[in-house]
Chains A and B, each alone.
Chain A
Amino acid sequence: METQYKLTYFNGRGLAEPIRLLFAYAKVEYEDVRIEKPQWPSMKPTTPFGKLPILEFDGKKVGQSVAICRYLGKKWNLTGKDDWDSLQCDVLVDTLGDLKQQVGQYRMEQDPAIKEEKKQNLIKETIPFYLQKLEQIVKENDDYLVGGQLTWADFQYAASLENFELIFGKEALDQYPHLKALKERVFELPGIKEWVAKRPVTEF
C-alpha cells in the first residue's frame, strides 16, 4: 500500500521547501498543508517539539527538516555512492546551516543601525567567505555539491540560493557561476520544474 505523506508548515518556502523539492523530484504525492499564523498557537502543542515543519506518515509525526531530508534522500537514492559521500552531504548541509543562521540573525535584528551593520558585514565578509569556498567545491564536482552527482544536499542549496537572490538581488550570484549553475540545474529537473510553476508564490 502506498504511504500517505502529509507535510505541515507555514505558508512559505522556508525550511519546508527542500522537502517539497525532494517530493517533486521523486514524483511522490503528499499533502502540502500550509497554516496561517493565527492557527499556530493552538497547533504548536500538538507538534513533537513545538516547531514546524512536521511530516506525518504511517501514523507517525516527525519534525526537524534536515533529518527528514536526509531520510527521504536515502529513500530516493540521493546520498551519493558510499558513507563518505553521505558524510560530505551532511557536512555541506550543516555548513549551509551555519551561513543561514547568520543571515537569519541579520533578518531578525530589530535595531535598524545594528541591522545595517550586520547587513554590511554579511555582504562584505561572511557571504563571500562562504560562497567562494562553496563555489570551489561545486566547481570540483561538475556543478554538484558531492561526488559529481545529484544528492539531497543540492536541493537544500537550490532552495537557499533562490532565497539568497530574493534577499540580495538577482545579480548576487553572478560572481559565483558554478553555484548559479547548480541552482539552475536543480530548478530545471523534471518534477521540480512543474512544481515551481504551480507552487504558491510567497514572500519567504
Chain B
Amino acid sequence: MAGETGDGNKHIETNSAMSPKYKLTYFDLRGLAEPLRFLLAYGDIEYEDSRFTFEQWPEMKKSMPFGKVPVLEVDGQALHQSMAMTRYFAKQLKLTGDDDWEAMLCDIMVDTMNDFRMQVTGYYYEPNEETKEKKKEVLFNETMPFYLERLDEEVKKNDGHFVKGKLTWADLAIVAMIDFMEDQLQTKFTDNYSNLKAIKEKVLDLPQIKAWVERRPKTNY
C-alpha cells in the first residue's frame, strides 16, 4: 500500500517497491483511453491494460462507477473520467506547465480538442445514413477546417507545442486523439497543417511513446 508523502502523491510512487497496482479497463480500442495510455507509457508506469469485447460490455457496464469506461483501478479503488485521470498523472509527471496559468492553458487545449473530437464521434456513430451524409459535409467543410486552422496556429505560436514551447500533457493527449480520429475518418487530416503534423510526429517519436505504439494492440481506432 503506497504511503503518505504529505504532498498529495500518496497514490503514486513510481520507483518504489510499494507502487500501487493499476488496472485500466476499456474497449479494445484506443479512443478515450489512449491519452491516459500515452501518459502512463511516457511515465514508465506499469499497469494492466484490460480490454473487453462489445459483447461483454452490457455486463461490464454494471460494475463501472457511472456505467462508463475508461475506468482505472488504483489498488482496487475505481477512478473514472478519462481527462480527469489523465490530468492527475500529468501533474505527477510534471507535464502541466510551470504554473497554474500554464496548467489552465493545457486544460483549454485539451478541452478544445475534445469539443472537436465529439463532433467527429457524433458523425462516426450516426446510425441514419442520410443524416450521416449531411453531418459529413458539415464536418469536412466547416468543423474540421475551423478547428485544425486554429489548433495549427496555437502550435505555431507556441514554438512547436500546444503550450508555451514545452512538452505538456496537452501534446500527448491531443496527439493520442489525432491518432485515433484520423483512423475514424480514414483521413490523415493533419497532413495539410504543418505545425500539427510536426507535433504529431514529435510526440510519436518520443522513445516511450514509440515503443508503446509498436507494442499496443492494433485496433480500428
Contact = CB atoms under 8 A, between A and B. Distances in A.
A168 interface: no
A74 B100 contact: yes
A64 B8 contact: no
Nearest to B67: A129
Contacts of A29: none
B11 A84 contact: yes
Nearest to B104: A71
B85 interface: yes
Q: Is the interface of A mostly helix, strand, loop or mixed?
A: helix
Interface stretch (A31-39, A90-98, A173-181, A183-191): A90-98
Interface string A76-96: 000001111111001101110
Contact of A95 (B9, B66, B88, B107): B66
B83 A90 contact: yes
A84 B104 contact: no
A83 B66 contact: no
B108 A63 contact: yes
A70 B91 CA distance: 14
Nearest to A51: B115
Given A84-B11, A90-B87, A130-B66, A67 B79 contact: no
Contact of B92 (A66, A75, A83, A93): A83
Contacts of A50: 146
Contact of B111 (A66, A86, A129): A66
A103 interface: no
Interface residues of B, number: 32
Interface in B97-114: 100-101, 103-105, 107-108, 111-112
B150 interface: yes
B107 A70 contact: yes
A87 B104 contact: no
B108 A62 contact: yes
A81 B9 CA distance: 12
Q: Which of B10, B103, B104 has the largest number of chain A CB atoms within 10 A?
A: B104
A62 B8 contact: no
Interface residues of A, number: 30
A90 B101 CA distance: 17
Contacts of B208: none
B85 A71 contact: no
Contacts, number: 80
A136 B16 CA distance: 35
Given A50-B146, A83-B88, A84-B8, A91 B80 contact: yes
A49 B84 contact: no
A63 B109 CA distance: 10
Nearest to A97: B81
A133 interface: yes
A87 B88 contact: yes
Given A71-B101, A71-B103, A49 B83 contact: no
A82 to B, nearest CB: 3
Contact of A64 (B65, B91, B103, B108): B108
Nearest to A71: B104
B7 interface: yes
Nearest to A87: B88
A75 B103 CA distance: 12
11 contacts: A48-B108, A67-B108, A71-B100, A71-B101, A81-B8, A83-B8, A83-B88, A84-B10, A86-B8, A93-B84, A129-B66
Interface of A: 48-51, 62-64, 66-68, 70-71, 74-75, 81-87, 90-91, 93-95, 98, 129-130, 133
**Which 7 A/B pairs are nearest by Cβ-Cβ distance?**
A82-B8, A83-B8, A90-B84, A67-B107, A71-B104, A94-B81, A87-B88
Given A84-B8, A91-B85, A94-B83, 17 more contacts: A63-B108, A67-B107, A70-B104, A71-B100, A71-B107, A82-B10, A83-B7, A83-B9, A84-B10, A90-B81, A90-B84, A93-B84, A94-B84, A95-B80, A95-B81, A98-B66, A129-B67
